[in-house]
Structure 1
Amino acid sequence: MSLESYGVLKGKPKDWIYGTGRSPHFQILVYDGQMEHRIAVNVRSRVPPSELLYYVDEDFDHPVISRLESLDMGFHSLEDKKDMSLDYVRGGLFDVSSMEMLHHDISGPDNDLNEKIRDYVKAAIKTEGTVYAFGKRWGPDSYLQDSCFGFRPGSGIHDVHMNQGSTKKWKDADKPYHDGGLLIHLPEEKRWVALYLAFQSQCFVTDEVTGHCKEDTSGEAVVPGCLKHRKCTSAGTIRIVAALVDPSGDDPGLETITLINASPEDVNIDDWMIVDRNNRTSLLKGTIMAGAGAKIHLSGKGAQLYNKGGSISLFDEMGVMMHEVNYVKEDIRTGWMIVF
C-alpha cells in the first residue's frame, strides 16, 4: 500500500519546537485561517546511519509555484495530481547528488539540521510568509488535543521527506510523485526556499510505477543511497568472518570482530558501522586492503556482543547492509573465536 492521504498543507507558521528524543521531529505550528495544524519533520533516522540527507534551494523557481499560490489555505489532496506533487527522482526539482548529510543536534550555534529548519521557519514567521508542507495527513481528531502544541482538534502532516526507494520495512509506502518536503514563501525577500530530506538508506533510482528501488539488468537491486558523486561497494565485498564474543577477563575493550575484504580492490570503510542486536553502533575507520582482513576491537561503549546469542550487522556509510551473521549461546566458548 502506498502512502495514503498524500497532499500539501498551506498555512502561516506561528511557532516551532526542536526535534529531540529517540525519534526526533522538528515540529512546526501553522494556522490556515480556520484551524491549527502541526507539521512533523524528521531530523534523524531510526536506522543507521542516523544523519539525514538534505538539500536547500535558497531561491527556488519552478512552475509549481504559481499552482501553489492559487491554492486556498489548508490541506489539499494531491492524489493523481503530478503537476503539483513532489518527486525527487523525476520531478526536475534539484540534483539529488547535491544532497549532504547533517546531524540533527551538534554542539555550537547554527550548525545542525534542527537549527537550519528553525532559521527558515523564523524568517517566515517574521515576514508573515507561507509554509507549504508536502507529506501524509493525519486528523482532524476531535477527541485528542495536539501532543506538542495543545490545540484541538489534532491535525497535521508528517512523512515530510522522500517517500520512494525505501528499504523493506517501509517499502509499502513507496510511490512516485509522493515525496515530502517544505516550500517556504518569503514575500518580503521576494523568494521561495525549498527544503528536501531523505534517509541515507533510500535508493535514488526507482521504478516509475511502484517507486521501489529499481533493479539493474542483472536482477540485483541498485544499491540504496548511491548518489552520483559516491563510489558504492557491493554487499558481501566485506564480510564478517569471526567474532570473539566472550574474551578471557573483563569484556569491555576485548571483544573483537574480524572482517575480510573478499574483493580484488582496496575498500575504504570510513563511516561504516557495526550494529548489534539492540541497534547499538560502533563507527569504523580505515581501509581494508584487497584480500586482507581487519580485526575490529569493540570499546564497550557502542556495539556489544551478547553471551546469550545475538546478531552482528555491517553497514556501509550510506546505511546499506553489507553482511550480517547470527550466533547462539551454544556457539560461545570463553576465549575462543566464533568462525562464521
Structure 2
Amino acid sequence: MPIEGYGLWKGTLKAWDIKDARTDPETPHGHIKFTDDSRRTLDCAINVKSSDIVTEVVYWKFRGPDNFFDPSHPIIAKLKGLSERRFYDADSPSDSRLGLRIDLLRDGFIDLKAGHIPPWNTPGVPNDDIVDFLQDFVLNGVAKKAEVYIFGQQYGSKNGLHQIHMVQGSFHNPEHPNWEEENGVHQDGGIFLHFPEEDKWEAFFIAFASQAWKTNDGTGYPDTTETLAQHILGGPPPIIPPVPGVINVKIHSALVNPVGPDNSPVLEMIRIRNTGDADVDLTGYVFENQNRANQPIAARGGGRPVVAVGKEVEFPAGACYLPNNRDGRILLKDARGTVIDMAQYRKAQASREGQWIVF
C-alpha cells in the first residue's frame, strides 16, 4: 500500500545532528536540519540501523571528485525546474504532474552490487561506519550552502521528513507489520545535493540490508527470497543436495541462552553440520554476529576444528556473542570472508534458557 504524504522537499542545508545516531541502540537516526522559503527550521530523520534481525543498512553514495551524480539523468531536469523551496506532495493535484517520485530499483540510479554494508557505529574509529559516511556527505553540503532535495514522507506535524530509504521489498515481520504494508513502487527516499557555483550534483541512497533486491513491478512486494545483503555479499548459498568435492557445511543450531550468566563466551555454543561427502577443516573460518563481532572457529581442547562427514560439532561462540534479549543473526564465513551460511533467530526463541535453537 503506497505511503501517504510522500514527496520531495527542497531547501537549504543548515546543520547535521548525530546525537541520536550514536546513542540510540534500538532505532538510531541521523538528523539533517534545513530551511525552506517559510524560514522554518525543518528536520529530516535518516535511519542508520534497522530494527530487523539483520540490522545493517546498505548505502550508495555519489560524490566527487570522480563520482558525482549524473547531471543528464531525467530526475535532475525535474529538480532544476523547481523554483520554490517547499514540500512538493507527490499526490497533490498541483504537484503530481511534476512526476517527483523515485524508485531505487527502476530508475537506473544505482548498481545494486556496488552497495556498501558498513557497521552502524564504531566509536573512536574515523570514517568507518554509516554515521561517519553520512556526516561527511552532509557537512560538506552545509559548508558549501548546498541546495538539498529530499525524497521521503512528511511527519505527522509536517515539519520534516522520514522514510529516507527504500520503501519496498520488506518481508513479512509479525513484530513490525507496517513494514510490509508500506511496500510500494516509485515511493523511495533519497537525498540530492546541488552546488550552484560548480553546478555539480551529489546523492546518497539508503536501503535496509534485510529488504529484497527484486520486487514486484505493481506492488513493491518481494519478488525473491534473497535479501540485499545476500545479493551483495554473495551468500548464503541456496540449499542443494551435496555435490562430490564441494564443501557442504551449515549452521545447524545454537545455544543462545545457556543456563548461567548472560553473554558468556564459554557457555554460548554454535553447532555446525557437515552435509557433504568429505571431512571439513574449519581452520580460518569465523562466526560473525549482527554487530559484526566475530570469533575464529577453534576446536574445544585444542587441535584442528574438523567436522566429519554427516556429523555435527559444537564450537564456542566466543567473541561472536549471541544476544538473548533481542533478535539475532549468525554468519558462517570461510577463510576468504565468503558467507557460507546464515542463521537468524527471534527474541522469543532466545528467551528460553538452556534450549538449543535449531535452524
Instruction: Report the residue type matching 2:321 in the other structure.
Output: G
Provide the residue aligned with 1:218 in structure 2.
Answer: none
Q: Is the 8 A contact 2:258 2:267 kept in 1?
A: yes
Amino acid at match of 1:116: F
Query: Which of 300, 310, 315 does residue 296 from structure 1 map onto?
Result: 315
Normalising to structure 1: TM-score of the pair? 0.74
1:174-209 Cα distance to aligned partner (Å, 9 max, x none): 111111111111122321001011111111111111
- CA shift digits 1:31-72 (9 cap, x unpaired): 111033101111222234433211111211211111112222
Residue number in structure 1 paired with 2:335: none
| More strand per residue | 1
Structure 2 counterpart of 1:150: none
Deviates more, 1:120-129 or 1:26-35: 120-129
**Is the contact between residue 236 and residue 342 of structure 2 (CA under 8 Å) also seen in structure 1?**
no
What is aligned with 1:209?
218
Structure 1 residues 131 and 206: alpha-carbon distance in aligned structure 2, compared to 1, 3 A threshold: same
Q: Deviations over 1:123-165 (max 9, x none)?
A: 3223221111111111436xxxxxxxxxxxxx10011011111
Identity of aligned residues (%): 22
1:200-250 Cα distance to aligned partner (Å, 9 max, x none): 1111111111111114xxxxx344533256243347983444649656999
Question: Which residue, 319, 322, 325 being the options, matches 2:343?
Answer: 322
Unaligned runs of 5+ in 2: 174-178, 241-248, 298-304, 333-338
Residue 84 of structure 1: how far off its partner (Å): 3.0
Q: 1:229–1:301: structure 2 CA closer, same or farther, 3 Å change rule?
A: closer
Label 1:104 to 1:186 Cα distance change in 2 as closer, same or farther (>3 A). farther
| One-letter identity of the residue aligned with 1:86 | I
Quick one: distance in 2 between partners of 1:78 and 1:288? 58
CA 1:120–1:299 in 2, change beyond 3 Å: closer, same or farther? closer
Contact preservation (8 Å) 1:32, 1:74: yes
What does 1:92-241 correspond to in 2, within 5 Å?
Answer: 92-106=108-122, 107-140=124-157, 155-169=159-173, 170-215=179-224, 221-227=225-231, 230-234=234-238, 238-241=250-253
Residue 10 (structure 2) pairs with residue 3 (structure 1): no
Structure 1 SS opposite 2:157: strand
Listed as ranges, the matches of 1:297-312 within 5 Å are 297-299=316-318, 302-303=321-322
State how far apart, in whole Å, the 2-side matches of 1:263 and 1:114 are: 41
Where do 5+ consecutive residues of structure 1 fail to align?
142-154, 216-220, 275-279
Q: In 2, are the aligned partners of 1:25 and 1:42 still within 8 Å (CA)?
A: yes
- Measured against aligned partners, the alpha-carbon deviations of 1:282-338 in whole angstroms (never above 9, x if no partner) come to 645559967453423244993256xxxx998644489x9735494886x85xxxx85
Equivalenced residues, count: 307
Name the residue aligned to 2:86. 74
Where 1:121 maps in the other structure, the secondary structure is helix
Q: Distance between the aligned counterparts of 1:313 and 1:126, measured in 2?
A: 40
Task: Tell whether the 8 Å contact from 1:213 to 1:224 is kept in structure 2 after alignment.
Answer: no
**Aligned-residue RMSD, C-alpha:** 3.8
Equivalent of 1:55, from 55, 60, 63?
Answer: 60
